[in-house]
A and B are shown apart, each in its own frame.
Chain A
Amino acid sequence: MTMRVEVTVNGRQRSVDIEPHHTLLEMLRDDLALTGTKECCLVGECGACTVIVDGESVDSCLMLGVEASGAAITTVEGLAAGDRLDPLQEAFLETGAAQCGFCIPGQLVSARALLHGVPHPTRAEIEEGLAGNLCRCAGYEQIMEAVELAAKRGAAAREPHSSRVATDVASIPDAQVAPQ
């Protein structure tokens, strides 16, 4: 039997009927088609499925979808505001932090949550803050640099989905954002 879950995802009200045993990760990927959040270890060790739930970073594989009822959720798709990338996204591109890219949504979301709590983290704080996000291409150095760079540019000042109207990232035309 399914249960109705009302959530705000990336600033948008969503209503979804899900199996009560399904995780938030399954809800996002399978029911809301937000596949930017990735599935890897399913035991809360790799961080590929990290999302922000009411301001806290969460491994969405460890949380039931129904537990998120009423919550405000930010996924990687919600980091950019329309055609304006989050400073973290810009910094990740600049430092070459994304290789295969599979861990990057989780890294970005964790970094977003980190900067929200610690606007100007030390290198050690960044390393600790992202320790739950595995990268096997192991571009950790370039990832750390990206977070440092974004923090320096005042990325923390930006809150995901504060008072703006959210835009589904799928609607951003490629050409307006950056050349591919």
Chain B
Amino acid sequence: MNDVVGTGAARVGGLDRVTGRQAYVADIPLDDVLHVKLVTLPVARARIGPIDDSAACAVPGVRLVMSAKDLPDPMPRFGPQRRDRPVIATGETTYHGDPVAAVAADTKDAAEQAAELVKVEYEELPAAPTLEAALAADAPLVQDPSLRPDDPHADTNVLHEHRHAWGDVDGATADVVVEGTYRFPMVTQFAIEPHAFMAAPDGVGVAVWSAIQHPNWLQRVIAELLQLPLARVRIHAPDPGGAFGGKQHAKYEPLLAFMALATGRPVRLVLTLAETFQAVRRGAAQVHVRTGFQRDGTLVFRDVEANYQIGAYADIADRTVAKGSYTSMGPYRTPSARIVARSVLSHTVPSTAFRGFGNPQQIWAVESNMNEAARTLGIDPLELRLRNLAEPGDEFIPGDTPADGDWAVAVRRAAEMIDWSTPPTPGRGRGIAVGLKSGPTTGLSYSTVRLLVDGSVVVYAGTSDMGQGARTIFAQIAADELGAPLPWVTVVSGDTAVVPYDQQTSASRSSVFMGTAVLRACHDIQAKVRSMAARLEGVGEEQVTVERGEVHIGDRALAIHDVVKRGLGRLGGEIIGVGEMRKDAEPDHPLGGTAAFYEFNCTAVEVEVDRETGDISIPRYVTVSDVGKALNPLQVRGQDEGAAVMGLGHTLMEHYIWDDQGRIRNLGAIDYRIPTSMDLPAEMESDIVENADGPGPYGSKGMSEGALLPVSPAVAAAVTDATGVVIRDLPMSPERVWQALQELEAGEVSR
């Protein structure tokens, strides 16, 4: 009997990754391909005047210069939440980097040269590049009200206001109220693979290649825009080279599809890293938190008002606001709660999904607030959390999925690992925080599994393997269920003409949703094998059981592949299984559905602060996630540590820098820093809690985002513990910490 689930089985695709053979979109050769370069303006908001492409068209090898006038009128628009994004800017640009034209040429050189020669007349217009500017009474509108019919906020930059409440916040009486405003900056996904797209005429339809997380969603977008049947739109989705939410939804694929049809040739666009900064980012947020406690630390109420600065188009950002703010009470029992969260449009890069999906901003605020409350109340921050933490089965968010984990175990584990009960080395400070995220609220995944005559297996699963290792998990499941050695399992993904529908790769869903679909497809095969074995052995089906790769008849155990080989007979063939996992929408729920599971993590850190420079170093770092069941502990560790380091990025160093006109001043890797191997904690330990209490295969839960959620508040608390300064703005750059230290000292002197 196989037992590879739960082991650190080698990554499917690992060999290709270490030999350089893994083909990402930019590596795929297409004959006769044209190279595309975007034309953008050096301003955020401008009225687009006449575009003179004569010089560009004169460059040898240039085949097409496309701008709004070359596209259907009215301009086709698309977007996962609202159809507000034009295929290419029309009338006005709305952010720095909004493309106004695109050139296609035989060579990259020609495309680049021609793009510089496209002459665009424009008039710069007043922009609203900050939250304050966007919310001002006389703010220029980011979206024309005609794009927002029947929308009461259409004459403002508030795209949507989300409200959720229970209990009676205004009537609640608390002994202590702790209040603060916390800011989270704009940061970018910075996948090491810059976004890359290709499109080509394909028979009477179109083929699109994209490093996309949601191939089926993209298929729908392209089909709608080109008015083609789905079956005539083929999406090739090679493994993305990192995505982190930034590759969920269509960006320039529609433009490329129109260009391919206009030229009759394949077209390829590989963004520069700088251009990816102008394509995707996380929403910034300003979150005001007011929390009431009894003197013993029991939570009485929490009142949260959050303004998320999304960008020029909705993309999926408004959903990140809804979902991120919804869990503002964290994993705590909160008798009274009120959440008001606004999606605020601005003349900035459209924000989108990014690991944590709106939660890291909110958790930065509420968990920092928890740590400030612990100091105000004089209660240990660990104790304060344990006192309020929901227990398994508690309906801690009324009307939603009850607590599905024993979260106190993770909290205590993290505390033990960082030696919470003994004081840190002098000069160091400690901090702790927790993060909770609602998992997917709906979902639909299909898988087809083929058990071939020799016992080898082909699994079709439309999840995008962007580094999380989804295919490895599916192969492990199929290997165990069908009794095939792991190397005998092939997982096929990334082609909508071949692989069945999957709703999306996001929200840490794939092990649970697609994993279950794969498991059910294997069960479907097992049922057929059972009938086959009964027929072959001349026994009733009730006497046959099939599980974990073996057929049992009485005391006898037969290998599945032996039964199948005999059963399929001289013609051979195969057994095909189909599996489906569905979680339907619940229209009355504020998010359209309850949480399939919760991700929960507790992070504890020890820091040292250089008082001369404000530099924070992290000698010890502990992260503990409740994962239900680790299907592949090696990959679980990679996800937790990776999420932690990514969290250290927005905690310590990352942020966009803008000028007054809304231009990004730090486009690219020199001026926008992400963590390197020199920025790691000196000691990093990750651990997991496994109680098999998740809805996924073998009790698993999704887990790829949890460890990012509480990084910032844990580090900030440790900085306060070490120095006394309270920082409420991210990132905690040396400059900001140094400034805070100076202010603290000045304050102490003046007292």
Could you tell me which A residues sit within 8 Å of B by CB distance?
19, 29-30, 33-43, 45-46, 48, 75-77, 79-80, 85, 89, 92-96, 98-105, 108, 126-128, 130-144, 169-170, 172, 174, 177-180
Contact = CB atoms under 8 A, between A and B. Distances in A.
B192 A45 contact: no
A105 B20 CA distance: 6
B699 interface: no
Interface in B176-228: 189-194
Interface of B: 8, 10-24, 26-27, 29, 108-109, 189-194, 239-244, 270, 272-273, 466-469, 485-488, 490, 634-635, 637-638, 641-646, 668-670, 674-678, 680, 684
Contacts of B20: 34-37, 75-77, 105, 169
Given A42-B272, A45-B670, A100-B467, A140 B241 contact: no
A96 B11 contact: yes
A112 to B, nearest CB: 12
A180 B241 contact: no
A131 B675 CA distance: 9
Contact of B192 (A40, A108, A128, A144): A40
B10 A178 contact: yes
B332 to A, nearest CB: 29
A151 to B, nearest CB: 15
Given A100-B191, A126-B677, 16 more contacts: A38-B193, A45-B669, A75-B20, A77-B19, A85-B18, A96-B8, A99-B242, A134-B192, A136-B189, A136-B242, A138-B643, A169-B21, A178-B487, A179-B10, A179-B485, A180-B13
A90 to B, nearest CB: 8
Given A89-B19, A93-B18, A130 B638 contact: no
A99 B241 CA distance: 9
Contact of A101 (B22, B189, B669): B22
Given A33-B29, A93-B18, A169-B20, A19 B109 contact: yes
A71 B190 CA distance: 33
Contact of A40 (B193, B638, B644): B193
A102 B11 contact: no
A79 B674 CA distance: 28
B21 A36 contact: yes
13 contacts: A33-B29, A85-B18, A99-B242, A101-B16, A101-B17, A126-B677, A127-B680, A131-B677, A136-B192, A138-B646, A169-B19, A170-B21, A178-B10
Contacts of A126: 677
B23 A35 contact: yes
B642 A139 contact: yes
Contact of B15 (A77, A134, A141, A174): A174
A101 B21 CA distance: 10
Of A102, A108, A170, which is in contact with the most chain B CB atoms at under 10 Å from its CB?
A102
A19 B61 CA distance: 16
Given A93-B18, A169-B19, A43 B642 contact: no
Contacts, number: 185
Given A93-B10, A101-B241, A139-B638, A134 B19 contact: no
A144 B21 CA distance: 22
Contacts of A135: 192
A98 B11 contact: yes
A138 B645 contact: yes
B275 to A, nearest CB: 11
In the complex, the 6 A-B pairs of residues with the closest C-beta atoms, listed nearest first: A36-B20, A179-B487, A102-B241, A100-B467, A101-B17, A138-B645
Nearest to B677: A127
Nearest to B17: A101
B19 A96 contact: no
Nearest to A89: B18
Contacts of B680: 127, 140-141, 144
Nearest to B684: A141
Contacts of A35: 20, 23, 26-27
A114 B194 CA distance: 27
B241 A134 contact: no
B27 A130 contact: no
Contacts of A127: 677-678, 680
A46 B669 contact: yes
A179 B193 CA distance: 26
A96 B638 contact: yes
A172 B192 contact: no
Nearest to A175: B487
Tell me whether chain A's interface is mostly helix, strand or loop, or mixed. Answer: loop
A89 B17 CA distance: 9
A37 B24 CA distance: 11
Given A136-B646, A138-B675, A100 B241 contact: yes
Contacts of B485: 179
A97 to B, nearest CB: 8
Nearest to A21: B109
Contacts of A99: 242, 467-469, 638, 642
A100 B193 contact: yes
A43 B109 contact: no
A102 B24 CA distance: 8
B641 A139 contact: yes
A143 B469 CA distance: 16
B26 A138 contact: no
Contact of B669 (A43, A137, A140): A43
A102 B16 CA distance: 11
B444 to A, nearest CB: 25
B18 A137 contact: no
A41 B193 CA distance: 9
B642 A138 contact: yes
A149 to B, nearest CB: 13
Nearest to B468: A99
Contacts of B244: 136
Contacts of B644: 138
A143 B270 CA distance: 27
Contacts of A96: 8, 11, 634-635, 637-638
B192 A103 contact: yes
B669 A108 contact: no
B273 A42 contact: yes
A38 B677 contact: no
A99 B20 CA distance: 13
Contacts of B642: 99, 137-139
A142 B192 contact: no
A98 B239 CA distance: 13
B192 A130 contact: no
Of A40, A76, A95, which is in contact with the most chain B CB atoms at under 10 Å from its CB?
A40
B239 A101 contact: yes
A180 B487 contact: yes
Given A42-B273, A102-B192, A142 B26 contact: no
A137 B26 contact: no
Contacts of A104: 17-18
Nearest to B8: A96
Contact of A141 (B10, B21, B270, B641): B641
B27 A43 contact: no
A39 B487 CA distance: 31
A132 to B, nearest CB: 8
Nearest to A179: B487
A75 B19 CA distance: 10
Of B18, B240, B272, which is in contact with the most chain A CB atoms at under 10 Å from its CB?
B18
A48 B192 CA distance: 8
B255 to A, nearest CB: 21
Contact of B242 (A100, A169, A172, A179): A100
B678 A131 contact: yes
A180 B270 CA distance: 29
Contacts of A30: 108
Contacts of A95: 634
A42 B643 CA distance: 25
Nearest to B27: A35
A180 B12 contact: yes
Contacts of B645: 138, 140
Contact of A98 (B17, B26, B637): B17
A102 B469 CA distance: 14
A77 B684 CA distance: 32
